[in-house]
Chain A
Amino acid sequence: QAGLTQPPSVSKDLRQTATLTCTGNSNNVGNQGAAWLQQHQGHPPTLLSYRNNNRPSGISERLSASRSGNTASLTITGLQPEDEADYYCLAWDSSLSVWVFGGGTKLTVL
């Protein structure tokens, strides 16, 4: 099962803006969007954004999700040290009838 494509790593300076991408196809990201999850080392993932791009309560307003065609994006503004983590996208594939994850992006805040 093909997964979603994410860049393995992104590095940005403190207080800058990072945009993470997640590319799929018309059966997954392009169909119902993608959710975004954050995982700090040694901890379970935390949901950052639902597939409709809304944030769960308690998630920072510095994070916003969007979609254009078959690519979903997560933008984090005003980067802080605590934003350094692995980020995963997740989508339902309506053709394969399975959930698919991206390979994850390791965000480094310099």
Chain B
Amino acid sequence: EVQLVESGGGLVQPGRSLRLSCAASGFTFHDHAMHWVRQAPGKGLEWVSGLRWNSDGIRYADFVKGRFTISRDNAKNSLYLQMNSLTTEDTALYYCVKSDAFDIWGQGTLVVVSS
């Protein structure tokens, strides 16, 4: 079964950091680009960042540039998102998504930024 499982979310104070992880299984992870997409409570989907199978072509949405870093470890079938200088506007459910087709989504991990 193709599966993506996110972890690492939680409650964090403004200005602090958090690292999200995504464990992939059921497909050849190193063959595919991967993405992070977020959804604030009651709001729409918002693309955050993505990278190619070999970690090339890293792209970020304007609102996270300089604060978030996406990475992957193909040996561990894992995707990561290091989030620094968090603000209350980063509060959202963060999804890990497979490929540029966006064909498989995890259940998401909730990040709440609050003092």
Interface residues in chain A, defined as those with a beta carbon under 8 Å from any beta carbon in chain B: 1, 35, 37, 39, 44-47, 50-51, 56, 86, 88, 90, 92, 97-104
Contact = CB atoms under 8 A, between A and B. Distances in A.
B46 interface: yes
A101 B108 CA distance: 18
Interface in B49-103: 50, 59-62, 95, 100-103
B14 interface: no
By secondary structure, the A interface counts as: strand
Given A1-B61, A99-B35, A99-B50, A45 B101 contact: no
A37 to B, nearest CB: 7
Contacts of B35: 99
A105 to B, nearest CB: 10
23 contacts: A1-B61, A35-B101, A39-B45, A44-B106, A44-B107, A44-B108, A45-B45, A46-B105, A50-B101, A56-B103, A88-B44, A88-B45, A90-B45, A90-B47, A98-B60, A99-B35, A99-B47, A100-B47, A101-B37, A101-B45, A101-B47, A103-B44, A104-B44
Contacts of B50: 99
Contacts, number: 52
Interface residues of B, number: 21
A39 B105 CA distance: 11
B99 to A, nearest CB: 10
Contact of A104 (B45, B61, B62, B107): B45
A44 B95 contact: yes
A33 B68 CA distance: 28
Contacts of B44: 86, 88, 101-104
